Amino acid sequence: MVNTVNVASCSVRALLLFAAVAYANSQSGVPISQRVGLESLNAAQRETVDSFVLEHERPTGDLKRLADRGGMGVRSSAALRHLFPHSRFVVVPWILQADPAVKDMYSIPYGLYDVLVINDAGQQEATFHSSGNQEEFGLFLHNHRLKVRNEIMACEVAKALAAAYGSGLSTCNDVRRSSSEWLLSYKEMPFRSVSSYEEVREAYYYRLGVDASGFVLGGTLVGETLERRQIENAEKSTSDH
């Protein structure tokens, strides 16, 4: 059975990061993804989707996990088709339902989904999760032996990342921090308060590690604190100690 209390606590940070990157991406105004129905899949690919849903659904018990079949579809974009012409990206949204008798025991997150990456032969190559820091995307790039050596390729990967996870739009504001590290879709946010007396300024990006030849080693979604400062004329309360 899925432990939703754990799911909720582990998801909060990742969902905040995802929301921030989605906000950052939305500032460019250039849509990069679309979704089509499952009828675009071949028979082997549809069978893989059906098997995945049957394996991961939990239709009974105190906490039910059900696939939202009406929300399923294939995510596609120019970047995904260019980089991965033999892969399809199928989104499977999940609905979590607690039995009324025990619903107060759970804190149920919403908006959870998986993205199945399936090749032409119907083999499942990867699963991307909405509740993580998207490390599985970096591993997928690594397994495809993708190389990122310049800003053009970094932009293409950033677009593919946004399309695969459904974050909508891509800024292609990519920063090469060093010879071994790219910061994709880099976005600095304005100051926000974290207590009654302190505020922080943060940056959100997807950190992509590469070797000397540009071969992708891995990646992860990052929220980095750039600056902290005290709020003017604010006093620390006893609850903030």
pLDDT score at 107: 78
Q: How many CB atoms lie within 10 A of CB 72?
A: 18
pLDDT of residue 7: 42
Residue spans of alpha helices (H) in the chain = 4-26, 43-56, 78-83, 135-143, 151-165
pLDDT, residue 94, reads: 96
Indicate the domain borders of the chain. 4-240
* Res 170: pLDDT: 63
Q: What is the DSSP string of 8-76?
A: HHHHHHHHHHHHHHHHHHHTS--B--EEE-GGGS-HHHHHHHHHHHHHH-B-SSSEEEEE-GGG-EEEE
What string of pLDDT tens digits covers the 241 residues of the chain?
A: 444 444 443 444 444 444 444 444 443 444 456 888 999 999 999 999 999 999 999 998 888 999 999 999 999 999 999 999 999 999 999 999 888 887 778 777 888 999 999 999 999 999 999 988 999 999 999 999 999 999 999 999 999 999 999 875 566 889 999 999 999 999 999 999 999 999 999 999 999 999 999 999 999 999 999 999 999 876 655 555 5
Greatest extent of the chain over all pairs of C-alpha atoms, in Å? 65
At residue 34, the pLDDT reads: 80
How crowded is residue 179: how many other Cβ atoms within 10 Å of its Cβ?
9
CA distance 238 to 241: 6
93 φ, ψ to 5°? -75, 150
- Please, are residues 86 and 101 in contact by the beta-carbon 8 Å criterion? no
The pLDDT score that the predictor gives to residue 68 is 96
Q: What is the pLDDT of residue 29?
A: 42
Q: Can you give the pLDDT at residue 132?
A: 86
